[in-house]
């Protein structure tokens, strides 16, 4: 009894990858190439988007710091003492007496402008 010999792997691979098989599967190879190109393009687009998001976040943090600084400066400048000190040079100051109330009857009438 003789044991059947197995074909060498070279011959088996060679019989599968012959010219006719390659020609028949060209559409499949083109499809795989197209999918590979889409995969690479998608990776580049994702990297570009991540870079844009990081740049926007950095810009947002800088603007938040600037906003907080300006807000604190405005709060400091809007205190009553700061306003009084700033107005001393112009001659304006806090009134020492109460304002005078002018009744409506004693006011000077303002002429009305004609409307079209």
Query: pLDDT tens for residues 40-49?
Result: 999 999 999 9
Please tell me the predicted confidence (pLDDT) of residue 56: 98
In a domain, 84, yes or no: yes
Q: Which domain holds residue 79?
A: 27-90
In a domain, 65, yes or no: yes
Distances (CA, A) of 99 to 80, 88, 94, 95: 19, 20, 12, 8
Regions of the chain short of the pLDDT cut 70: 1-10, 12, 106-109, 115-116
Please tell me the predicted confidence (pLDDT) of residue 16: 72
Domain count, the chain: 1
Please tell me the predicted confidence (pLDDT) of residue 86: 81
In a domain, 100, yes or no: no
In a domain, 69, yes or no: yes
In a domain, 109, yes or no: no
Which residue, among 12, 16, 14, 36, has the nearest Cα to 25 in the 3D structure?
Answer: 16
Which residue, among 51, 48, 50, has the nearest Cα to 40 in the 3D structure?
Answer: 48
In a domain, 112, yes or no: no
């Amino acid at each position: 009894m003789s044991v059947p010999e197995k074909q060498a792997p070279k011959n088996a691979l060679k019989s599968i990858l012959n010219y006719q098989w390659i020609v028949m599967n060209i559409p499949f190879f083109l499809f795989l190439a197209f999918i590979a190109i889409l995969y690479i393009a998608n990776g580049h687009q994702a990297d570009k988007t991540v870079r844009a998001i990081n740049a926007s976040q950095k810009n947002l943090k800088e603007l938040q710091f600037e906003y907080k600084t300006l807000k604190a400066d405005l709060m400091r400048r809007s205190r009553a003492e700061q306003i009084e000190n700033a107005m001393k040079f112009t001659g304006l100051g806090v009134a020492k007496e109460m304002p005078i109330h002018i009744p409506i009857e004693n006011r000077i009438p303002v002429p009305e402008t004609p409307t079209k």
